[in-house]
Amino acid sequence: MDIFAKCHAPAIVYEAKEKGIYPYFHYLTTKQDTQVMMEGRDTVMIGSNNYLGLTSDPRVINAGIEAFKKYGSGCSGSRFLNGTLDIHIALEKELAAFLQKEDVVTFSTGFQSNLGIISAIVGFNDYVICDKENHASIYDGVKLSYGRLVRYEHADMKDLEDKISKLDLSKVGALIITDGVFSMGGDIANLPEIVRIARKYGARVMVDDAHGLGVIGEHGRGTAEYWHLEDEVDIIMGTFSKSLASLGGYMAASKEVCDYVRHASRPFIFSASITPACVACARESLRIIQEEPERRKNLHDISEYMRKQLKANGVDIVESETPIVPIYVYDDLKAFEACKLLFERGVYVNPVVSPATPVGKALLRTSYTATHTKKQIDYAVEQIVAVLKELEVING
């Protein structure tokens, strides 16, 4: 059998291309912002993870430029060897202080962070207990670890306890991993119950807070702060590509755990370090997050406004408290068609189709930014409602 045979197999991608509704790889010619130029169209961006609007903030941009001038374009090596700069160490100390953890390890991407953390911490035959809707990078980290994967139904604490109670943990370890804010549904993990169950059965807890940092919690420290459980979460993972307006990722934990990962994680040891400009942009964004809490309030207010407007127009959404507002369109091809029609009308959203969602539960994933205006939101709502009526997703 030709190993390339799979590349020619029928798939929804080809069907979407044939119908002219393929929704991926649109390109921008401007900064990531609430209003962008995308393939020549002036477009309201409601499909970005730029939650605090810092990717286009002049202070963040200038920080990156100055680091580029001082340190050059890259580090030409791993953090383990020649690729550590003083600003890498400064960023780790500042993140640790902000997250109220003893130490932080930074990685070159968020995806790589989960690969590097899980593959180092989880040993052969250890158990990883995962929410079914955890990010793909978590599942790939488990594969790299040679640990044993146990999945529980999404947000189902009874199923989690049923699953972990059946495991023999007398000679192996267990790590419960959950997204803090789930990237597709926007819901927040039930951390109090997860922590309770972990302590009852002797497991450790890791939270992927990629979509929580800067977004929830009194000071923007994410899911653990939201639930007042910062001391109960053993590992917090996050990314720089969302609220921190950069590229990279991190692990916050005890000094002992962080030092172990630094010396045991192959994705960390054998990858080039974060570029100087990315480090500087993340540091400046972290400073702004702490000094401008009004950004979180604006983000919450604009997200709530969008939810109310959609519901007032009969649009079926997934309820949440976060800036992620998924809209049901149910059918996969209709999701693609809706994205195409909205793009033509100057609104960008993301399709979420099976297997990322159950069959018949396709979504338009919309997400919001602290700097969105009500005028932009009103325009987006008007277009979404019109398109969903045209596609007979809602009544005309």
Of 196, 214, 154, 204, which is closest to residue 179 (Cα–Cα)? 154
- Active-site residue among 101, 135, 242, 340? 242
Residue 211 annotated to the active site: yes
Whole-number Å distance between alpha carbons of 350 and 326: 9
395, amino acid identity: N
Q: What token pair was written down for 378?
A: 């009103």
- Active-site residue among 88, 101, 163, 211? 211
CB 194 within 8 A of CB 224: no
Q: Which residues contact 331 (CB under 8 A, 6 or more apart)?
A: 360, 362
Burial 299-333 (b: 16+ CB within 10 A, else e): bbebbebbbebbeeeebebbebbbbbbbbbbebbb
User: Contacts from 151-159 at CB under 8 Å and sequence distance 24+?
Assistant: 154/182, 155/131, 155/187, 155/189, 155/190, 157/190, 157/193, 157/194, 157/197
Whole-number Å distance between alpha carbons of 141 and 154: 19
Segments in 202-291 forming alpha helices (H): 223-226, 255-264, 266-269, 276-291
Could you say which DSSP state residue 272 is in?
A: B
| Phi-psi group of 214: left, alpha or beta (phi > 0 → left; psi -120 to 50 → alpha; rest → beta) | left
Q: What token pair was written down for 324?
A: 């992620």
Whole-number Å distance between alpha carbons of 118 and 302: 35
Residue 135 annotated to the active site: no
Using DSSP, state whether 3 is helix, strand or coil: coil
Whole-number Å distance between alpha carbons of 355 and 351: 12
Of 81, 120, 127, which is closest to residue 260 (Cα–Cα)? 120
Whole-number Å distance between alpha carbons of 380 and 133: 28
Burial class (CB within 10 angstroms; exposed 0-12, middle 13-18, buried 19+) of 124: exposed
Q: Which residues are catalytic?
A: 183, 211, 242
